[in-house]
Amino acid sequence: MKEYRTITKIAGPLVFVEKTEPVGYNELVNIALYDGTVKRGQVLDTSDDLVVVQVFETTAGIGRDSGVRFLGETIKMPVGKEMLGRILSGGGKPIDGGPDIVPEKRLDITGAAINPYARASPEEFIQTGISTIDGTNTLVRGQKLPIFSGAGLPHNNIALQIARQSKVLGSQEEFAVVFAAMGITKEEANHFMDDFERTGALERAVVFLNLADDPAVERIITPRLALTTAEYLAFELGMHVLVILTDMTNYCEALRQIGAAREEVPGRRGYPGYMYTDLAGIYERAGIIKGKKGSITQFPILTMPGDDITHPIPDLTGYITEGQIVVSRELHRKGIYPPVNVLPSLSRLMNLGIGEKHTREDHKKVSDQLYAAYAEGNDLRGLVAIVGKDALSERDRMFLEFADLFEDQFVRQGYEEDRSITDTLDIGWKLLSSLPVEQLVRIDRELIQKYHPQFRGAAKAAE
């Protein structure tokens, strides 16, 4: 393989190489430094006279005397069953002191799009034990459901609780967790690792760590390595894989950094115009394939800059993912855990995974009614601040109280508390029974007769 010493320009993470033989787009590149260390990169732009290489680590130490080798293939990830229980760097190298991974296969990390025709429709209800998710924003297997959070909010604990408690009722299938950290602090990483170790989840996990002080550009490949691993575990070994990606905001920052270095025309707030397509290339790698046993369920976590849900990162994410779980600073300040604000939260695949076949026949309508009542009560809080409680009508006062009860009993639960779906729905009914029956316009009468505590009591008494 030919080594070139024709670097003409180095700018940020980009290296420009001249006078090469034809080099393939997206090809892997090794750059050898004077001291013998080798840095990896990827071809971003190739033409007869100039090749632009994006280096995954820092460009520190690279000079015009460095040697460049083009490896003639795109980036591949060695994968194998042995990866379970291992901790790898953000670039995919083992960092737990263990041996190198013996690959059973080497897979392209970009990953091809799943043919929509080959997908199976996700519909298996995953019980996370958290009421605000199971009851009102139900997760199903094969879904991608991000957590939209803010700096200083307990999104990590929520993700851990989900990872720990998630189960499909009545099934004992093989599962695995793939955890990819991008630019999080060592402390946060430890928090995850300790919890994985404490609960024994580590044995079933593959961990990729790109920490805050690791090269930012490496973050571009970390989620792709993780998802390539996940696809192998799910679609070749038949496991049900839960992928946690944290923090996608750092990923997007790295994307912007490269765009700026390439002097591209920026889109909104300086993020590249292709960020939607790029993020889709990550988030869409979730789902179920017809005739294959495994599945990939994704939990990306992102911190919204300035808690702003219209910021390009949460905005583009929300347009790709199947809903979002929004963590609220206001609820957190009130001391409520998990501080999930159900109003802007959403699970698009909820209707596929609930109802008689999956959870319970009243699920959809109870959820709608809880939403409607809580939204109404929440609106009235603004009004009370201006006119005082006394100016409210009787009806309004009931809804106002409902909102408080909802936050206190439905939203609030313990970090270790694992509620069954029946418990969650029953809490919902208990709260709804604080409202007059005729206000429950979203629920049909038969369901009210069957599940409303008032009638249930009556039915029992009659027996």
- Residue ranges in 59-78 that form contacts with another protein under rule CB under 8 A: 73-74
Instruction: Write down the least CB distance from residue 304 to another protein, Å.
Output: 11
Nearer to another protein, 115 or 172 (CB): 115
Q: Which is nearer to another protein, 62 or 75 (CB)?
A: 75
- Report, in Å, the least distance between residue 416 CB and another protein: 30
Question: Measured between alpha carbons, how far is 345 from 326 in angstroms, rounded to an integer?
Answer: 5
Site for another protein in 289-318 (CB under 8 A): 289-290, 292, 309-312, 315-316, 318
Nearer to another protein, 3 or 48 (CB): 48
Encoded tokens for 115: 């043919």
Q: What are phi and psi of 70, to 5 degrees?
A: -100, 125
Which amino acid makes up residue 2?
K
User: From the CB of 65, what's the least distance to another protein, in Å?
Assistant: 26
- Cα–Cα dist 289/293, whole Å: 8
363-387 and 421-432 helices cross at what angle (nearest 10)? 50
44 lies in the site for another protein, by CB under 8 A: yes
With CB under 8 A as the contact rule, the residue among 280, 336, 405, 435 that binds another protein is 280
Residues 192-251 touching another protein, rule: CB under 8 A, are 235
Please list every residue from 355 through 374 that binds another protein, using CB under 8 A.
Answer: 364, 368, 371-372
Do 363 and 396 contact (CB within 8 A), yes or no?
no
Cβ atoms of residues 156 and 189 within 8 Å? no
Q: Report the residue from 8, 37, 277, 454 that binds another protein according to the rule CB under 8 A.
A: 277
The 3-state DSSP class for residue 128 equals coil
299 within 8 A of 149, measured Cβ to Cβ: no
Helical (H) or strand (E) element with 312 = helix 312-320
Minimum distance, C-beta of residue 237 to another protein, in the bound complex (Å): 15
Using alpha carbons, select from 310, 374, 368, 366 the residue that is nearest to residue 341.
Answer: 374
Tell whether residue 383 is a contact of another protein (CB under 8 A): yes
CB atoms within 10 A of CB 210: 29
The encoded tokens of residue 412 equal 């609030």
Is residue 402 within a helix (H) or strand (E), and if so which, with residue range? helix 394-405
Give me the least distance between CB of 381 and another protein, in Å please.
Answer: 12
Q: Which of 6, 16, 24, 334 binds another protein (CB under 8 A)?
A: 24
Rounded to a whole number of angstroms, the minimum distance from the CB of residue 104 to another protein is 18
Quick check: 338 and 413 in contact, CB under 8 A?
yes
CB of 248 to another protein, least distance (A): 15
Query: Which of 92, 316, 106 is CA-nearest to residue 207?
Result: 92
Stretch in the footprint of another protein (CB under 8 A) among 153-161, 197-205, 238-246, 344-352: 344-352
11 scored as a contact of another protein (CB under 8 A): no
Q: Pick from 10, 78, 276, 397: which binds another protein (CB under 8 A)?
A: 276
Prior bond to 134 cis, omega within 30? no
DSSP 61-97: T--TT-EEEEEEEE-EEEE-GGGTT-EEETTS-B-SS
Beta bridge partners, 301, equal 147, 246
Interaction residues for another protein, span 315-334 (CB under 8 A): 315-316, 318-320, 322-324
Lookup: tokens for 32: 């050898």
Q: Which is nearer to another protein, 25 or 34 (CB)?
A: 25
Sign of CA dihedral 57, 62, 68, 69: negative
**Range in contact with another protein (rule: CB under 8 A) among 98-106, 212-220, 238-246, 386-394:** 386-394
Q: Which stretch binds another protein (CB under 8 A): 3-11, 124-132, 150-158, 262-270?
A: 262-270
Q: Determine if 433 is a binding residue for another protein (CB under 8 A).
A: no
With contacts defined by CB under 8 A, how many residues of the chain interact with another protein?
Answer: 87
Residue 110 within binding range of another protein, rule CB under 8 A: yes
Per the structure block, which two tokens stand in for 62?
């690279």
Kind of pairing between the strands at 50-55 and 205-211:
unpaired
- Is residue 382 a contact residue for another protein (CB under 8 A)? yes
Selected range binding another protein among 98-106, 176-184, 260-268, 450-458, rule: CB under 8 A:
260-268
Cβ-based nearer residue to another protein, 207 or 226: 226
Rule CB under 8 A: say whether 131 interacts with another protein: no
Instruction: Tell me the closest approach of the beta carbon of residue 391 to another protein, in angstroms.
Output: 3
Per DSSP bridges, beta strands 205-211 and 175-184 are parallel
- Using DSSP, state whether 16 is helix, strand or coil: strand
Which span sits near another protein by CB under 8 A: 109-117, 154-162, 173-181, 211-219?
109-117
Q: Considering only residues 16, 274, 337, 455, which one is a binding residue for another protein as defined by CB under 8 A? A: 274
Instruction: State which of residues 7, 46, 92, 125 lies at the interface with another protein (CB under 8 A).
Output: 46
CB of 157 to another protein, least distance (A): 24
